[in-house]
Amino acid sequence: MPGRTSSRNRWLVALAAASLCLPAVAQRNRNTAVFQTSDRCFPCHNGLTTASGADISIGHEWSASMMANSARDPYWQASVRREVMDHPMAAAAIEAECSICHMPMSRYEAFLAGREGQVFAHTKFDPSNRADRLAADGVSCSLCHQIARQKLGTRESFVGRFVIDEGAGGLRPAFGPYDVDAGRTRIMSSSSGFRPVRSEHIRQSELCATCHTLITHSLDASGKAVGEFPEQVPYLEWLHSEYRQNRSCQDCHMPVVSGPAPITAVLGQPREGVSRHAFLGGNFFMQRLLNRFRNELAIIASPQTLERAALQTIEHLQTEASRVAIEDVSLEAGRLLAWIRVENLTGHKLPTAYPSRRAWLHIQVRDRHGRVLFESGALAPDGSIQGNDNDADPRRYEPHYREITAPDQVQIYESIMGDASGAPTTGLLSAMTYLKDNRLLPHGFNKRTADKEIAVWGAAAEDDDFTAGGDRVRLAVAVTGAERPVEIVAELYYQPIAFRWAANLRTYQAFEPQRFVRYFESMASGSAVVLSRAEYRY
């Protein structure tokens, strides 16, 4: 009714004032065209090679990253559609919130113009529509390089509440780690409309924290906000670890080129400490999915570039993420006893970020002829884990184990969300709490002093062998009559999108969820990789 504010509208107002708020100075700037798409940057920042001939082109590497494809990500689109269908009364607010970090440029300019951010209005990616072009460009050059130092590292900057510098004299600043001389500044300004400005904050974790610290709103059945939920908080995990003292997000995810290298192909001079823009993360599966269905998803990166990116992601995971060891093996009264130690080498929980991710132990015991005497945690062709309660039944989940004695006991390092009734859920906006969070802790992480947003949940909280740096789980299985030597093989698997998170989309009769289910089922056997492995013969 006119003159009356509904509860939904009040929530939209609150959301605009909170999660979608922008700095006052930006809101006063009525020039809402503050971004350029990446094609304005590529002519100068591609064609880059090291002295040894390695291609380090900024544009090409970025184009195959999840940053570049954040809006094209079919799983994200399916998830937003699911949330809208679950909470139809809050549909506009959900799209506004979900566009914050996946379509940040179109969302930001819409807000400056007094409109809410949208998702599905822009997924056709019409090149004749400016908002669509900005949406299609994902997390792009002129987004990250315009984020100012203001408020970084504070809670006020989280959930995409970064400050875009207003600029002066018609030229907007583009922050970078190097001083740029007057001549090169003129070239960049004339070609892009930006002036390079040196600032070290571009290399600090606090910059990444703005979009990688997401506190979402929990909604009830009517779409009313009834709480907040720490959807993904890798920055806060890092801040509670020893890595905060010596390694930033960029140090790991934007590795530095060895030796001097140019940052531009036009009058480029060799620089020390050039960071690659591959944005190494954990989603090799999505990179390969984007490549396989590239025509349907209008992917820009070449097939070769995307496959190389997926391989680099896997290599990064297998060399930088974890280590597995088998210790203290013995045979007592026909039972094989051993300790399996899993070490987290990252600066945050493993896995971290979006809660669909999981890692788990695949354990085999074999006799001297290679026959399998015991197995826990085998990956099935459909992407599920054999013996995992949650994959078999969405109403259940696998607990954290101190000891593995049976094949249907699987040590899965994951976060399980619970809804208002206490049941497991994969609906982000239905989540009220974590029922389980035993993701591997980074070194230096004190679970006793951790804030609620990064806490350990479930049995792992009281497990003295689950501590900073990883976990130690006991294996005790019967091998009576087995011919020695027996062999123990322990592998740590990792899956970016767990089976249950994809399977739960099947009931949503809409284009985006059904499309993703089709994609996942066609590639499920390749949805996980082994991060690390150990063998022991006894």
Instruction: Report CA 127 to chain centroid distance, whole Å.
Output: 28
Query: Model's pTM, two decimal places?
Result: 0.94
The DSSP letter of residue 46 is S
Alpha-carbon distance values, 436 to 345, 391, 399, 412 (Å): 22, 15, 8, 10
CB 426 within 8 Å of CB 368:
no
For residues 344 and 235, what is the distance between their CA atoms, to the nearest angstrom? 16
CB 90 within 8 Å of CB 8:
yes
Strand duo 194-198 + 172-176: pairing: parallel
Task: List per-residue pLDDT tens for the chain, 538 residues long.
Answer: 333 333 333 333 333 333 333 333 344 445 688 999 999 999 999 999 999 999 999 999 999 999 999 999 999 999 999 999 999 999 999 999 999 999 999 999 999 999 999 999 999 999 999 999 999 999 999 999 999 999 999 999 999 999 998 765 578 999 999 999 999 999 999 989 899 999 999 999 999 999 999 999 999 989 999 999 999 999 999 999 999 999 999 999 999 999 999 999 999 999 999 999 999 999 999 999 999 999 999 999 999 999 999 999 999 999 999 999 999 999 999 999 999 999 999 999 999 999 999 999 999 999 999 999 999 999 999 999 999 999 999 999 999 999 999 999 999 999 999 999 999 999 999 999 999 999 999 999 999 999 999 999 999 999 999 999 999 999 999 999 888 999 999 999 999 999 999 999 999 999 999 999 999 999 999 999 999 999 999 9
Whether the link from the prior residue into 485 is cis, omega within 30° of 0, is yes
Q: Which of 234, 260, 271, 261 is nearest to 249 (CA)?
A: 234
Per the structure block, which two tokens stand in for 46? 């591609």
Chain position carrying tokens 């680099």: 312
CB 475 within 8 Å of CB 340:
yes
For residues 353 and 233, what is the distance between their CA atoms, to the nearest angstrom? 6
The DSSP letter of residue 272 is S
For residues 404 and 339, what is the distance between their CA atoms, to the nearest angstrom? 10
Residue 139, beta-bridge partner list: none
